[in-house]
Amino acid sequence: MRIEVLGCSGGIGAGLKTTCIKINDSILIDAGTGLELLSTEAMLKLRHIFFTHAHLDHICCLPLMLPTIYDRLKQPLHIHASDTVISALRDCIFNWTVWPDYTQLPDQAGSLLRFREMPIDSTISLEGLLITALAVNHPTPTQGYLIESSEGAFAFSGDTASTPEFLSRLYSVKRLMHLAVDVSFPSEQKSIAKASGHYTPASLKADLDRWPEGCPKPSLHITHLKPGYEDRVMEQCQQLLSDWNVLRLRSGDQLTFESDD
Ligand SMILES: [Zn+2]
Ligand SMILES: [Zn+2]
């Protein structure tokens, strides 16, 4: 499994791209502004996009990509998401007012987009991977994803505030090598973090303190940092989570899975 981080920031600005993670050549998790980094050829290889939720920083580049590829895409693009996200895309984006309805283009017989509802706790088997949607805690229905391959597993929280259930589901995952978790705000901004549904270093520590003794710890990648607060958040994470291998997720990161066979 090859995982490439295209975008993972909580905002935009020079060098900052919002959430978009590529798995192998054909799968994306979210379609934030990180998607802009793909060449047209790479966009044409995409077959599946899994959405965590419908907030703009996670969906904005799906509509923007379609005019680039629609006339050369040989197979439909499958959109896997909760019913809330599918409704939001249909009603609020592809409604001819905000953007053309690409579910009707190029013609009604052969649309570019295929929507497939992915409920919480469902698993889909795709290209040798098992992809499972896991509930997290954000102001709109949001799901993280667990991606398991023969080489190891990767878990991605999406946007979330404290969500012990998501983390406890991971305790039994075999060879969980990488875990990426949203920590948008420093601990002193706990009010805005709580209101907007994001972890702080302190709230993440409280949940990770429940990680069972003896249960292998994956590398912990901190994602969705708010622009301007990156150093402060990372400093607090390193200090509070000193028993974890804590890394700042960055656009351009490639996560590797070394076999221990
Ligand atoms: Zn969000
Ligand atoms: Zn977000």
Q: Which ligand is located closest to the Cα atom of residue 197? A: 1
Angstrom distance (rounded) from CA 132 to CA 124:
6
Please give the distance, rounded to the nearest whole angstrom, from the Cα atom of residue 53 to the centre of ligand 1: 7
Which listed ligand is nearest to 137 at the C-alpha? 1
- Answer whether 121's CB lies under 8 Å from 153's CB: no
**Range 53-61 average pLDDT:** 98
Closest ligand relative to 32 C-alpha: 2
Single-letter residue type at 153: A
pLDDT, tens digit, for every residue of 172-216?
Answer: 999 999 999 999 999 999 999 999 999 999 999 999 999 999 999
Residue 111 has pLDDT above 90, yes or no: no
Query: Residue 24 CB: number of other CB atoms within 10 A?
Result: 16
Please, which pLDDT band fits residue 110 given cuts at 50, 70 and 90?
low
Q: Give all domains of the chain, ordered by start, each with its CATH number.
A: 3-251 (3.60.15.10)
HEC secondary structure over 84-117: HHHHHHHHHHCCCCCCCCCCCCCCCCCCCEEEEE
Q: How far is the CA of 115 from the centre of ligand 2 (A)?
A: 21
Residues 6+ apart with CB under 8 A from 192: 185
Token pair of 240 as six digits? 């509070």
Q: Where do runs of H (alpha helix) occur along the chain?
A: 40-44, 56-59, 61-69, 83-88, 164-170, 190-196, 201-208, 230-240
Ligand that comes closest to the CA of residue 182: 2
**How far is residue 110's CA from residue 137's CA, in Å, rounded to a whole number?**
36
Which ligand lies nearest to the CA atom of residue 224 in the structure? 2
- The alpha carbon of 240 and the centre of ligand 1 are apart by a number of angstroms equal to 24
State residue 107's pLDDT score: 63
Distance 214 CA to ligand 2 centre (A): 32
Q: Using one digit for the tens of pLDDT, what is the confidence trace for 74-94?
A: 889 999 999 999 999 999 999
Q: Which ligand is nearest to the CA of 11?
A: 2
Q: How far is the CA of 261 from the centre of ligand 1 (A)?
A: 38
Look at residue 260 and tell me whether its pLDDT is greater than 60.
Answer: no
Ligand in nearest proximity to the CA of 19: 2
Q: How far is the CA of 157 from the centre of ligand 1 (A)?
A: 11
Q: Mean pLDDT across the chain, nearest whole number?
A: 95
Beta bridge partners, 260, equal none
- Cβ of 27: how many Cβ atoms within 10 Å? 23
User: Which residues are 197's β-sheet partners?
Assistant: none
